Structure 1
Amino acid sequence: MSNIDDYKQVFLESIYSLENISKYLQPKMPLLSELQLTSRQETIMILFIRNENITLSELSERLGISKSAISQALNKLEKDNLLIRSINEQNRREITMTLGETGKELKEQFEAFEASIIKDYISQLQLEELKQVRDVIKKLEGIIQHGEENNE
């Protein structure tokens, strides 16, 4: 039977590998490095690139931080012309966001980055292996979610 140290070792090795993957791939996104965004700002941009209809409330919920914290992070993104905030003309209490020119450039780079990662690396795995990784991650997500809900 495995003990807690075995689980810890495998977990830490997995985290270390993910950190290394990130380190190896980061140069493929030069604009992201140049912008010197915080990890929160990077996450907001990636979420927005993947779903341009996401609202401030959805970002807040997804990241587990206040709308005020999201708004503060958006200030730099707006200053760097990554995102543009405007008032929704249909509901004047709602803010809409669109990609600025730098944001559009980042989106193109991000989509090219994803395509190259899939072509160059991910496709070297068997689809079944990739599905197993996905399933284990989703299972862990469910275990953590259930555990956290029970702790509330």
Structure 2
Amino acid sequence: MEQDELLKLDNQLCFALYSAHLAFNQKYRKLLAPLGITYPQYLVMLVLWEKDHVTVSEIGKKLFLESSTLTPMLKRLEKMELISRQRSEKDERQVFISLTEKGHQLKQQAQAIPENLLGNIHCNLQSLSELKQQLDDLRAKLIE
């Protein structure tokens, strides 16, 4: 590839990923509006629906986010009464995050979101699974 071609926007993998991310966010915004949560808040809830009562650092590790980014989001989720935050009695630096009853109920409302999103993409599950694996591999290489 010629030098000039390397710097064209349409040839940038990072831009393809970025623009796909923006398109996903637009779809998720519509799907999550009835639940009253944002996409980043949805990601936190997914972590908690998978495993309840975890530390802020465990959530951050799973989502690749720093606690300074997570804390304001967790405070908003707590204000919405979807989660509770509790300091560890053994180590005050650790904060445990747990689902409230309202947070558990939200899971039922969210059940249809993945299927709705797949319906919007019009892509078979095998292709999506392969793409997800490729993206996971790419992320792993980038953070090595």
What is the TM-score with the length of structure 2 in the denominator? 0.67
Richer in helix (by share): 1
Identity of matched residues, %: 20
Corresponding residue of 2:25: 22
Structure 2, unaligned stretches of length 5 or more? none
**In structure 2, how many angstroms separate the alpha carbons of the residues matched to 1:22 and 1:141?**
19
Match of 1:7 in 2: 11
Q: Using the alignment, how far apart are the partners of 1:134 and 1:76 within structure 2?
A: 30
What is the CA distance between 1:128 and its match in structure 2?
A: 3.7
Query: What is the rounded CA distance, in whole Å, between the counterparts of 1:17 and 1:40 in structure 2?
Result: 16
Look up the match of 2:114.
114
Deviations for 1:5-54, whole angstroms, at most 9, x for unmatched residues? Answer: 3532x54244323322331342222244x35x5x6544433332333243
Superposition CA RMSD, Å = 3.2
**Distance of aligned partners of 1:76 and 1:27 in 2 relative to their CA distance in 1, 3 Å threshold:** same
How far the C-alpha of 1:117 sits from its partner, in A, is 2.9
In 2 relative to 1, CA 129–69 (structure 1 residues): closer, same or farther, beyond 3 Å?
A: closer
1:138 to 128, 132, 136: 136
Higher RCO (CA < 8 A, seq sep 6+): 2
TM-score with structure 1 length normalisation?
A: 0.64
1:47 and 2:40 correspond: no
The equivalent residue for 1:83 is 83
Mark the CA change 1:92 to 1:112 in structure 2 (over 3 Å): closer, same or farther: farther
Q: Does structure 1 retain, via aligned residues, the 8 Å contact 2:82–2:102?
A: yes
How many angstroms apart in 1 are the aligned matches of 2:81 and 2:26? 26
Gap change, CA 1:85 and 1:128, over 3 Å in 2: closer
In structure 1, list runs of 5 or more residues that go unmatched: 147-152
The alignment covers a number of residue pairs equal to 137
Secondary structure of the corresponding residue to residue 114 of structure 1: helix
